[in-house]
Amino acid sequence: MALPGVEESTAYGSPALKVHGKLLACVPAHRSAEPGSLAVRVDFDDRAELLAADPDVYYVTDHYLNYTAVPVRLSRVTPDVLRDLLGMAHKFVTSHEARRSPSRSPRKHV
pLDDT digits 0-9 by tens, 35-69: 999 999 999 999 999 999 999 999 999 999 999 99
Does residue 30 register a pLDDT over 50? yes
pLDDT confidence band for 86 (50 / 70 / 90): very high
Could you give the CA distance from residue 71 to residue 69 in angstroms, rounded to a whole number? Answer: 7
d(CA 24, CA 85): 10
